[in-house]
Amino acid sequence: MGIITLLALIVGALIVVGSILFNGDPRWFTYWPGVAITVGGTACVALIAYPIRQIGHSTRVFFRMLQHGNPQPDEVYEQLLKVAKTARREGFVELKLKKSSDISYDFLKTGVDLLADGVDPDQILAIMDAKSSVISEEYLVGEKLFNTLGTVAPMWGLLGTVIGLILMLNNVDNPDLIPKAMAIAMVTTFYGIFMAALVMIPVAMKFKSFREKDEKIREMIIRGIMSIQSGDSTRIVQEKLQSYNNLR
């Protein structure tokens, strides 16, 4: 899944570069001070708005999302059914042993641990709900961060353009140079919008869609664990969780 994201990123960039090269000179779009303003300015906004630890963490979360790909409900579904089978066949305590080999999803591991310890169902629900909220929060922070960057990058681009225009209008010694200077000023806005449109906003959306999918899976896990705890047969557990599996 990370492959498609990477490809789409490249294709997006190529489309823009392609349309530039189609009828124009790439040098018209190269203006390093402009790059500095948009990239630097946006970075400053990030550092002002969010603690640096959070920024680092969100970046790590993003690469983790690329690495693992979209959460797969069917894998977790199968694992949950396995847990149900073991619980009904050998009892909750046996779950402690089976855990590490069969279960890949951390949140599910937590649930199984709680089952194996014989924790009260109310407590199991409270603990898993709390954990789930924290996990969602992690993705929400990333989403907010990149949404902020996506809003602010075009602003900085515009800022750069405005600076350019002011400078230009004040330096009107040679009116023939005005169009050229204006073109250079515009480039900064281009950078800002390009950054926002291809990177910032899409990444924010990625955080969001990932979080939503993950939340559904966690919901399925909570339902599954509670169902197993209450003594439901494997068949009943399957019925209860069926619809989550079909969400693909």
Chain residues that interact with other proteins, rule: CB under 8 A: 87-93, 116-122, 229-231
Question: At 216, which amino acid appears?
Answer: K
Q: How far is the CB of 100 from other proteins (least distance, A)?
A: 19
- For residue 75, CA distances in Å to 35, 44, 48, 137, 169 come to 44, 41, 41, 24, 63
Minimum CB distance to other proteins smaller for 90 or for 219: 90
Q: How far is the CB of 244 from other proteins (least distance, A)?
A: 22
Q: How far is the CB of 128 from other proteins (least distance, A)?
A: 16
- For residue 170, CA distances in Å to 4, 37, 150, 175, 201 come to 48, 20, 31, 11, 36
Minimum CB distance to other proteins smaller for 78 or for 90: 90
Q: CB burial class (10 A; 0-12, 13-18, 19+) of residue 182?
A: middle
For residue 126, give both structure tokens.
């409270």
Minimum CB distance to other proteins smaller for 55 or for 237: 237
Minimum CB distance to other proteins smaller for 161 or for 234: 234
Q: How far is the CB of 120 from other proteins (least distance, A)?
A: 7
